[in-house]
Structure 1
């Protein structure tokens, strides 16, 4: 990947689509599970925070990301009051904390929620919650960033599926999701590629291209975006041009990406539910990849 032009195109189109559909990102009404209710707005917040952190977007994208963060915080989440209410109603959930940490990174604050978290995160139920190992890693990262008492993350990494180096032929969609998110949490969503242990980096350097090629053959764009984002988090990313070209071809001119195959049609709400995640993943992956390409170009004599 010698030029960031293709990456910029994918990212800019994705952000245009996300901005045009921001009303759909509000927390899901009537959803009892905070993690499900906050899923869409939390993912939007993460991607926007990463874009602003990396500082590689054009002025239009940066303005869009700032606007979306303001919308998510002040409008969708009632300046954080909704997060505090949900946290009090579900004391053991980590979802509110994991959404809040991305706002906190960009300077948004809710002292009441932080006070609540300081009390609740010490509960026995929080430490004993039955959670997938890669999710425990994400929770530990959020606690660490908010200055809460946490255990070390080294043991959490070893306990993950990726830490066990699964046979590559066993990596289906669910296994791949666990692997990609282990890398996202390890690197703080791409901020610290050096945190990937060398043996894990070697394993992914070897097998990511194989899984990526399979995604292209199956036209599985959501997982392809996750794998390209994972590649951009590694110490020595491949940034394969051909893979990014396939993702760009799958993207509509309006910026949406289907999860698999072609973009669906029909009811606007139903279509949104089917395409928002791969579109967000594309925006996130394009941001990280652009940052790595520009860093490499700047280092070239």
Structure 2
């Protein structure tokens, strides 16, 4: 496929293939008792589940209910909510780690989808009133995310987001040549928080929007050349989250390279050789996040280029087929449970 041949339909198929892989690997996202042990590895338990939920919640707001991928995302979000005991397990985490922020950050994703647990919210609000919680030292980008999680979860406090934003790498408008992997991930998450994960493009201040529109293509090319597929997909989400819709011709080559790196199963490696280099499919932990980001980037790009999407309706569609009909998922037609 040439760069000029990559259209909206082709981008959507990248997302469809990614969703086929995610639907086939739900067992790998499931929680077990290891998620509650004293030496639990959050990065391999709660983090993947929370990222699955966030991607699916975002996709549901970016695609219309008539789109089968909307239904697939709803199915996976329902699965993730059930894995938390419909919110009950957050209360268990609150009792064992009252000052950890990751439970609230994950819970807030479900709260944004209308899935709430009043008991957990009351317990979290009590902790959030303490000086210990408010004074926890965090990197600015993480702090911005925690503030957004509080707001999503009904915890009200004076908004300090604007001040925190200017302490982030992106908020300081740094010299563009200082871009590297860590700053790349930081800037993408700042944009995610500012725009409610791409739902409100006007959330990006004008000076940041101008800066990003100018330098993002160069940074994206750098990441693609380095076969950093995960960060490349996050940058494509950012491109689709700015006030001005992305210019498809400017990003066709990037999408062609992403599609070429994606395996037939829909899996996208985090980095390194992709399917176009006949590399073996990576294991779950080395491809789940990049595959999520491919699904997210595709949905966000399609929405901005077509103007479709409805974040007020939870109804889903039928099953969908990935590229060349390689896989199929099923949606039962129900909305996400409340």
TM-score, structure 2 length as denominator? 0.81
Distance in 2, matches of 1:199 and 1:208, equals 14
| CA contact 1:47–1:284 (8 Å) conserved in 2 | yes
Q: Deviations over 1:74-125 (max 9, x none)?
A: 1x21221111111221111221111112212222121111111111111112
- 1:21-170 matches, cutoff 5 A: 21-27=25-31, 29=34, 30=37, 31-32=39-40, 34=42, 37-56=45-64, 59-74=67-82, 76-152=83-159, 153-170=161-178
RMSD: 2.0
- 1:186-205 matches, cutoff 5 A: 186-205=194-213
Secondary structure (helix, strand or coil) at the match of 2:247 reads coil
Secondary structure (helix, strand or coil) at the match of 1:131 reads coil
Gaps of 5+ in 2: 309-338
Higher helix share: 1
Given candidates 284, 293, 307, the residue that maps to 1:281 is 293
Partner in structure 1 of residue 336 of structure 2 = none
- 1:151-300 matches, cutoff 5 A: 151-152=158-159, 153-236=161-244, 237-239=246-248, 240-263=251-274, 265=280, 271-295=283-307
Distance in 1, matches of 2:284 and 2:273, equals 14
Higher RCO (C-alpha 8 Å, min separation 6): 2
Distance in 1, matches of 2:176 and 2:50, equals 30
* Number of equivalenced pairs: 292
Secondary structure (helix, strand or coil) at the match of 1:79 reads coil
Say whether residues 1:4 and 2:15 are aligned partners.
Answer: no
After alignment, is 102-111 or 153-162 more displaced?
Answer: 102-111
| CA contact 1:201–1:234 (8 Å) conserved in 2 | yes
Gaps of 5+ in 1: 297-301
Distance in 2, matches of 1:88 and 1:291, equals 40
Distance in 2, matches of 1:162 and 1:238, equals 22
Tell me the CA shift for residue 233 of structure 1.
Answer: 0.8
